[in-house]
Amino acid sequence: MKILVCTDGSKQSRKALEKAAEIAAGCNVNEVALIHVYDNKPDSSLFYWDEGSSLNKEQMDQFQKLREEDKDKRKNILLEALKFFEDKGIKARTIFREGHPSHTIVSVAKEEGFDMIVVGSRGLGGLNKVFLGSTSSAIVQEAEDCSVLTVK
C-alpha cells in the first residue's frame, strides 16, 4: 500500500500525520510520501495599490523577497513532517509542489499510484474555506482511483 499524506502545518494536518504514521506502523505499507502544495498566487494583503497603478522595482523586489520567504516557510513545514515520521522509524519522502492544492494532490496521487490520501479535515484556510469549500472536501470529491481518509 502507498500512502500520500497532506500537510500544511495546521493542527488538523498534524492529526493527519499522526493517523498516517499509525497506519504505516500497523499495516503493510510500501511507501509513505508527504505532500505540501502551495498556491503561488499573489496575496493582495501584502501590498495595496490603486487600480491602474503598477509596482515599482523596489516594491517588486520586496514582493519577490516575501514570496521566497513564504516558500521557505512552506518547505520547513514539509521537513518538520518528514522529521516526525523519521522519529517514529518510518521511512518517507517529500513532495513539494506549486498549484491548486486539491487538484495537485489528486493528480499526484493518480500519477504515482497511491492507494490512500490522508488529509486533515481543516487546514490553514480560515474563514475563506467556509465559503469556498475546504481542500479536504475537494480531495474527497475529486479522487477517483484511491481512498481518502479525512482526519478530524
* pLDDT of 60: 79
| Cα 81 to Cα 63: distance, rounded to the nearest angstrom | 28
Cell numbers given for 105:
494532490
* pLDDT of 22: 96
Q: Express each pLDDT in 22-55 by its tens digit.
A: 999 998 899 999 999 988 665 544 555 555 566 6
Domains of the chain: 2-37+56-151 (3.40.50.620)
Which residue spans within the chain are E strands per DSSP? 2-6, 31-38, 93-98, 116-120, 147-151
For the chain, the straight-line distance linking the first and the last C-alpha, in angstroms and rounded, comes to 22
10-residue averages of pLDDT along the chain (152 residues) = 95 94 93 92 53 71 86 94 97 96 96 96 55 76 94 90
